[in-house]
Amino acid sequence: MATAERRAKPLPGRSKGAVAPGRRIALVTGAGRGIGRAIACRLALDGAMVFVNYRSDRVAALGCVAEIIASGGVAQAVRADVSDAVQVRNMLARVRRDAGGLDILVANAGVAPLARSLAAVTPSMWRRTMETNATGAFFCAQAAAPMLACSGSGRIVFIGSVAARLGGNIGPHYAASKAALRGLCSSMGRELAPSGITVNVVEPGYVATDLSTAIHRSVAMRRRMRAEVPLERIGTVEEVADVVAFLAGPGGGYVTRECIAVAGGR
């Protein structure tokens, strides 16, 4: 059955006219700043109604919503700690109540506590990183899957990192949490394919964000960082958002179970 035909039948509890016909619904976790914010803004620019998830920084999330609305888009902020399964289910229930369905999930929320050595990774650091980056992504995808199946062309995009295969500079806890997304992508992508849902991982490399600036503070460190990139420059959050938008759009309909690096050749 065609996507438009499937979406023409409102999901249970959907109020008719809640969302303009043809407008896709997206949820982006951790969307208050950085890569998540750029993705939310890009999906809104492409016509999606975007739910901007945040855990604690309400001001940043509302700033993202305001930016989208100022550009003519539609957005709402929605609070949830993605590492809490109950909060995730409540968040998806709100999306269903306010928009009637879901077409796109971008699991972007993550933490990256810096550990310069294996010995520096504490048990609490390990748990926090895995619970947010890996478990949180799983909870969101698990809760969203039934709604995405009703879309007929659902999309799940996990935001990983090239650290999953290169190790990276943040620490083994972070690399392990991002490597877990590769396994989720492969398993979920196969299971959900019959429902028309694609599942992919976008893996940024060195990208200009608050996090990368905090890690690479000195000019010398940033010079070394650029030297590791074949394209000899740092990426932008907009370049990551462009790839996510492709996967979330009609052009990405035959791409699934893939890990796509946005890393300048690293």
Which domains can be identified in the chain, with CATH numbers? 22-262 (3.40.50.720)
The whole-angstrom separation of Cα 48 and Cα 74 is 7
174 assigned to active site? yes
Whether 27 contacts 102, CB under 8 Å: yes
**pLDDT digit string, tens, across residues 222-236:** 788 888 899 999 999
pLDDT tens string, the chain, 266 residues long: the values are 333 323 333 333 334 445 777 899 999 999 999 999 999 999 999 999 999 999 999 999 999 999 999 999 999 999 999 999 999 999 999 999 999 999 999 999 999 999 989 999 999 999 999 999 999 999 999 999 999 999 999 999 999 999 999 998 899 999 999 999 999 999 999 999 999 999 999 999 999 887 666 665 567 777 888 888 999 999 999 999 999 999 999 999 999 999 999 999 99
**pTM for the model:** 0.91
The active-site residue, picked from 54, 174, 206, 254, is 174
The encoded tokens of residue 52 equal: 């901007």
**pLDDT digit string, tens, across residues 174-211:** 999 999 999 999 999 999 999 999 999 999 999 988 76
- Element housing 141 (H / E): helix 136-151
Whether 112 contacts 172, CB under 8 Å: no
